[in-house]
């Protein structure tokens, strides 16, 4: 298993600003993922973040809006840039601990944009 | 985009009853995972079933997978008020990232 922490746990931000969310894992993992959960909705994949390579973004998500860093095998950041109220969501990181194995999720960052 | 749908969208039962949730998906998968989420908090992993498996058990949970019908079901037996949560199925199509279903909101009345 993996223990994942995220910072901040929640934040209230003004439109036009940016917020960087941190994801820390207690073990080295190859694959990390970032998801968004809009209010009352299911989870949608934003991007896959592998150490040593650029993140791979899903359709509808772009690097300028959601830049991701993955400096090592235990840490990643997601920045939500130039925020608007539509960005109000829960942002979750997850890791996969091995081939065809369980994905574990962090506790999420609840973001409200005013 | 979502891989599929979950049925029902909402389910209300009495404590002690069984709860069954169904998940349908659209493409071939490597595995399917079920998660629980309490009140918009983080996801708790419940069970993983691989594409070559048909049934798995974990405590009060029973999961079935029918790859010919592209469907899965989650059965919670002898439900408790603490089981009240949203339940999501999620599929790994080989990309390693998960595609989530729409979720079922389960309410267990004490």
pLDDT value of position A97: 78
pLDDT value of position A26: 95
Bridge-based pairing state of the strands A4-7 and A19-25: antiparallel
pLDDT value of position A47: 96
**B90 interface with A at CB cutoff 8 Å:** yes
Question: Residue B79 and residue B19: Cα distance in Å, rounded?
Answer: 7
Question: Residue B34 and residue B90: Cα distance in Å, rounded?
Answer: 6
Inter-chain CB proximity A102 and B45 less than 8 Å: yes
Whether residue B103 is predicted with pLDDT greater than 70 in this model: the reply is yes
Q: Which residues, other chains included, contact A87 with Cβ-Cβ below 8 Å and sequence gap of 6+?
A: A80, A111, A113
Residue A95 CB-density burial (10 A; 0-12 exposed, 13-18 middle, 19+ buried): buried
How far does CA B14 lie from the centroid of its chain? 19
Q: Tell me what the mean pLDDT of segment B30-34 comes to.
A: 93
Chain A residues with CB under 8 Å of a chain B CB are 31, 33, 37, 42-45, 48, 59, 90, 92, 94, 96, 100-108, 110
The strand pairing partners of A110, in sequence order, are A10, A90
Inter-chain CB proximity B100 and A103 less than 8 Å: no
| SS3 readout for chain A | CCCEEEECCEEEECCCCCEEEEEEECCCCCEEEEEEECCCCCEEEEEEEECCCCCEECCCCCCCCCCEEEEECCEEEEEECCCCHHHCEEEEEEEECCCCCCEEECCCEEEEEC
Which sign does the torsion angle of CA A105, A110, B2, B6 carry?
positive
Q: What is the pLDDT of residues B53-86, one digit of tens each?
A: 999 999 999 999 999 999 999 999 999 999 999 9
**B47 interface with A at CB cutoff 8 Å:** no
- Which of A4, A50, A42 has the alpha carbon at shortest distance from B97? A50
Find chain A residues with C-beta within 8 A of B88's C-beta.
42-43
pLDDT value of position A1: 78
Question: pLDDT 10s digit of each residue in chain A, 114 long?
Answer: 789 999 999 999 999 999 999 999 999 998 899 999 999 899 999 999 988 888 999 999 999 999 999 999 999 999 999 999 999 999 999 998 776 578 999 999 999 999
């Amino acid at each position: 298993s993996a223990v994942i922490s995220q910072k901040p746990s929640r934040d209230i931000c003004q439109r036009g600003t940016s917020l960087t969310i941190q994801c820390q894992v207690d073990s080295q993992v190859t694959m990390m993922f970032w998801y968004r959960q809009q209010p009352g909705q299911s989870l949608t994949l934003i991007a896959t973040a592998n150490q040593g390579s650029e993140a791979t973004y899903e359709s509808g998500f772009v690097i300028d809006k959601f830049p991701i860093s993955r400096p090592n095998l235990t840490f990643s950041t997601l920045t939500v840039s130039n925020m608007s109220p539509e960005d109000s969501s829960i942002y979750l990181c997850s890791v996969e601990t091995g081939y065809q194995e369980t994905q574990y999720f962090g506790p999420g960052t609840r973001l409200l944009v005013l | 985009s979502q891989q599929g749908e979950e049925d029902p969208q909402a389910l209300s039962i009495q404590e002690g009853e069984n709860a069954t949730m169904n998940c349908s998906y659209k493409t071939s998968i490597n595995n399917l995972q079920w998660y629980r989420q309490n009140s918009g908090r983080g996801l708790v992993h419940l069970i993983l079933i691989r594409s070559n498996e048909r049934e798995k058990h974990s405590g009060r949970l029973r999961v079935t997978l029918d790859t010919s019908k592209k469907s899965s079901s989650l059965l919670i037996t002898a439900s408790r008020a603490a089981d009240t949560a949203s339940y999501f199925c999620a599929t790994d199509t080989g990309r390693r990232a998960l595609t989530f279903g729409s979720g079922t909101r389960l309410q267990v009345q004490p």
